[in-house]
């Protein structure tokens, strides 16, 4: 697949986003985040999704000029209303405010309601690492998964991200609640392969390794089965309580995914340790992991975020991988 310099990709996003009415500094930020997703190998949230993302701005009635408004809170935790603004911008604002709170209070938490799809969860956890902070964030979604004990879609896929500094080599967990992302199920289906482990239910409500049956039934299974199901419910409930916003079942009531609820947490390490001590702790943990004998020779255990870092470095050296059709589609927009 072709590669293009990240700046070219970012400029193209900016060109397309500006006529939506997004103020220039916002269009620049959104363009940067989208380009970074492609740079980091998160292809599902880059060019592949951009046409749908772009269309949702108008279709969902997003107010591209809206600025979040503070509605409550105390000290280290604040509640903000996203006022139906653009999700990527609002989430950037939310983590930015959490970082400010962390500077004064050691830890900062912003709960944001009435906001929209933030694209990639990891973006905002990584944003905290750029400020030398630990970042944790999650969002609820429209219902996409069956809770444990049912094959009926009722719970959100509620992505959760956590990242640790340093920003150049972050440890990053960025996971939705389903065992397999839809994109991954499609890859297996297109190859005609069974999943390594059960990934969802078929139309009869039976657990299956058949990706086509799961996609047809739209019933992916939560990661860890009963555990991921419970975690999804907790994250949705926490997001709704802290933000005063909608829970997944209420988002469903709107028909399309809009006015979601999100939580952003930043922790400033400086009152706890010097940066050298943190870095040494992380390095020792990574080193120990890498000593584990791999199950497949030549395929060592990776720390969370390691593959992203490798992809990112390659992208910065040689350009960002783009699908030819997707790239042409952006150029034509």
Residues identified as active-site: 45
User: Following DSSP, what letter does each residue of 174-228 receive, concatenated?
Assistant: EE-SBSS-HHHHHHHHHHT---SS--EE-TTS-EES-HHHHHHHT-BPBTTTHHH
From 4, 28, 76, 181, residue interacting with its own copies (rule: CB under 8 A): 76
Stretch 7-46: interaction string toward its own copies, x if CB under 8 A: ----------------------------------------
Stretch 213-232: interaction string toward its own copies, x if CB under 8 A: ----------xxx-xx-xx-
Stretch 286-315: interaction string toward its own copies, x if CB under 8 A: --xx-xxxxxx--xxxxxx-----------
| Residue 203 binds to its own copies (criterion: CB under 8 A) | no
CA distance linking residue 199 with residue 209, whole number of Å: 6
Cβ proximity of 116 and 87 under 8 Å: yes
Residue 226 main-chain phi, psi, to 5 deg: -65, -30
| Residue 268 binds to its own copies (criterion: CB under 8 A) | yes
CA distance linking residue 297 with residue 280, whole number of Å: 28
Q: Which is nearer to its own copies, 13 or 41 (CB)?
A: 41
CA distance linking residue 33 with residue 36, whole number of Å: 5
Minimum Å distance from CB 22 to its own copies?
30
Q: Which stretch binds its own copies (CB under 8 A): 56-64, 145-153, 186-194, 312-320?
A: 145-153
| Residue 194 binds to its own copies (criterion: CB under 8 A) | no
Binders of its own copies in range 240-259 (CB under 8 A): 240-242, 244, 247-250
Residue 21 DSSP code? T
Q: Which is nearer to its own copies, 231 or 330 (CB)?
A: 231
For residue 243, the SS3 value is helix
Please name the helix (run of DSSP H) or strand (run of DSSP E) that holds residue 267, with its range, or none: strand 260-268
- Number of residues in contact with its own copies, rule: CB under 8 A? 81
- Of 280, 22, 283, 252, which Cα lies nearest the Cα of 157? 252
Minimum Å distance from CB 159 to its own copies?
12
CA distance linking residue 34 with residue 56, whole number of Å: 15
Cβ proximity of 242 and 79 under 8 Å: yes
| Residue 169 binds to its own copies (criterion: CB under 8 A) | no
| Residue 6 binds to its own copies (criterion: CB under 8 A) | no
Q: Which stretch binds its own copies (CB under 8 A): 25-33, 82-90, 183-191, 276-284?
A: 276-284
From 4, 151, 215, 329, residue interacting with its own copies (rule: CB under 8 A): 151
Minimum Å distance from CB 162 to its own copies?
5
Q: Which is nearer to its own copies, 42 or 231 (CB)?
A: 231
From 16, 91, 155, 214, residue interacting with its own copies (rule: CB under 8 A): 155
Neighbours of 81 (CB within 10 A): 20
From 267, 308, 321, 322, residue interacting with its own copies (rule: CB under 8 A): 267
From 28, 238, 329, 333, residue interacting with its own copies (rule: CB under 8 A): 238
CA 140 to each of CA 20, 53, 159, 233, 235: distance values in angstroms, whole numbers, following the listed order: 26, 17, 7, 9, 7
Residue 118 main-chain phi, psi, to 5 deg: -95, 10
- What is the spatial order of strands in the sheet that 77-81 belongs to? 69-74, 77-81, 107-115, 260-268, 133-139, 160-164, 171-175
| Residue 148 binds to its own copies (criterion: CB under 8 A) | yes
Q: Which is nearer to its own copies, 126 or 240 (CB)?
A: 240
| Residue 67 binds to its own copies (criterion: CB under 8 A) | no
């Amino acid at each position: 697949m072709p590669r293009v310099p990240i700046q070219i990709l970012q400029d193209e996003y900016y060109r397309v986003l500006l006529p939506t009415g997004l103020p220039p500094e916002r269009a620049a930020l959104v363009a940067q985040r989208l380009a970074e997703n492609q740079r980091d190998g998160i292809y599902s949230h880059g060019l592949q999704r951009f046409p749908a993302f772009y269309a949702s701005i108008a279709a969902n009635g997003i107010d591209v000029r809206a600025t979040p408004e503070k509605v409550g809170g105390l000290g280290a935790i604040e509640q903000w209303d996203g006022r139906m603004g653009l999700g990527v911008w609002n989430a950037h604002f939310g983590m930015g405010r959490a970082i400010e709170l962390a500077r004064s209070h050691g830890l900062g938490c912003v709960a944001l309601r009435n906001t929209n799809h933030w694209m990639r969860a990891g973006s905002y956890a990584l944003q905290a690492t750029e400020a030398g902070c630990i970042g944790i964030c999650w969002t609820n979604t429209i219902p996409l998964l069956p809770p444990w004990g049912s094959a009926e879609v009722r719970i959100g896929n509620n992505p959760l991200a956590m990242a640790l500094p340093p920003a150049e080599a972050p440890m990053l967990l960025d996971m939705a609640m389903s065992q397999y992302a839809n994109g991954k199920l499609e890859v297996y289906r297109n190859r005609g392969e069974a999943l390594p482990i059960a990934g969802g239910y078929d139309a009869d409500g039976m657990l299956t390794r058949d990706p086509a049956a799961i996609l047809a039934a739209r019933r992916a299974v939560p990661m860890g089965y009963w555990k991921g199901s419970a975690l999804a419910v907790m994250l949705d409930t926490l997001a709704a309580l802290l933000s005063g916003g909608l829970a997944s079942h209420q988002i469903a009531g709107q028909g399309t995914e809009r006015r979601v609820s999100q939580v952003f947490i930043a922790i400033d390490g400086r009152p706890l340790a010097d940066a050298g001590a943190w870095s040494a702790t992380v390095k020792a943990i990574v080193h120990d992991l890498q000593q584990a004998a791999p199950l497949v020779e030549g395929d060592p255990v990776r720390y969370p975020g390691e593959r992203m870092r490798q992809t990112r470095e390659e992208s910065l050296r040689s350009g960002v991988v783009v699908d030819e059709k997707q790239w042409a589609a952006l150029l034509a927009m």
